[in-house]
Structures are given as structure tokens and as C-alpha cells.
Amino acid sequence: MANRKSTLDRLDPRIRDAVHTAIRENRATIDEIVATIVQMGGDVSRSAVGRYVKRIGEDEAKRLEEYRKAQSVAAVWVEKIGSEPEGDVGRMLIEQVRMLAVQAVKEMNGAEVDAQDLMLLGKSLDHLAKANKSIVDREASVQKLMQARLEKTVKAAEKGAAKAVASMTPEQAYLAALKQVRVAYGMVEAEAA
């Protein structure tokens, strides 16, 4: 049996919007919805409205279940983020929220969208972008700090090595360098070398 479009899906958009509002607000019975449709110039059967209300209710139940799952996953993420806000979990959360925003826009599918919802979505994405930039900036500054510390340590080691080598014979300097190479490549442990 082919999936046919519901009689209600073929109604004038303003009538369909009134039906959706009544269903969403849970303020009208099936008979009242039928009466509203007829009053607005539409023509549908009571059973068609009943099937439509049931389908919309099932869709809403699925969305609610997805929301509950997302909440439980978010609770785990919040716990992880609490211990490491700028880490991989934080970045993953930002990306997940971006994906959810894209999915929400896709699901709108030409439906009427509240301007305030769009504004909130835009602000959320803006805050996410700023948070992501903050993470990237912080990682860059940590890398610069680490690089500076490494360079300082290398210079100190070179200075110390130069002093030590100056007091060695060429053979002792060669053996010390060979020992350092072996340690660096993991051929021997530092104490055993």
C-alpha cells in the first residue's frame, strides 16, 4: 500500500497551522478540531483527523524520547567537562551542538519558524564559536609557553654540555655523545648507559 499524503497535509497552510496549534497546546478534542477545520473552509473526516493527531503524537513522543536520551548524554558530558572544560570533550560538545542546530534547521522543512527561536539559535551558535575560539587561543598560548620552556631547557643543557665537554678528552666526549644518542633512541636506560 502506497503512503498517501494525509487529507490534513493537503489543507490550506493557515488551516493546518491552526490544527497544529490545537494539537501542540492539547486544548481541543478531535471533534473540536474537525469543527475548526470546517469553520475555516476545509473538509476532512473525523477519522482522518484522529489518524493525523495520532501520527503527530507519535512524532512528538519520538522527539521527546530523543530529547531524554540527549539529556542523559549531556549529563555525562557536563560531568566530564567539569573536570576538563577546554579538552576534547568540550570540543566534541561544541561540535554536537552545531550538528543539532543544523539538524533542527533541516527538520523545519518549510515550517513557520518563530523569529525568537531563530535569534536564540543564532546567539547559541555565536557563543559556541566564541567558546571554540577561546579553546583554540588557549591551546596556542600553552603551545607557545611549552615551546619557550623547551628552548630554555635546551639552551641550558647546551651550555652545561659545552662546559662538560670542554674539560673532556676527545675520546671521553665521543663516548658521552654516543651514550646520549643511545639514551635518546631508547637503546639503553639513562642510568644503565
Per DSSP, the residues of 18-84 read HHHHHHHHT---HHHHHHHHHHTT----HHHHHHHHHHHHHHHHHHHHHHHHHHHHHHHHHHHHHH-
Is 11:19 a contact under the CB 8 Å cutoff?
Answer: yes
Other C-beta atoms within 10 Å of 186: how many?
Answer: 7
Give dist(CA 36, CA 33) in Å, integer: 5
Give dist(CA 52, CA 30) in Å, integer: 10
Residue 79: the pLDDT is: 67
Angle made by CA atoms 33, 39, 44, in degrees to the nearest 5 = 55
pLDDT tens over the chain, length 193 residues = 456 777 888 888 898 888 888 887 777 888 998 998 999 998 889 998 888 888 887 777 777 777 777 777 767 766 665 555 556 666 676 677 767 766 776 666 556 666 676 677 677 767 777 777 777 788 888 888 888 888 887 777 777 777 777 777 888 877 877 777 777 666 656 554 4
Residue 193: the pLDDT is: 42
CA 60 to chain centre: 23
Which residue do the cell numbers 512528538 mark?
60
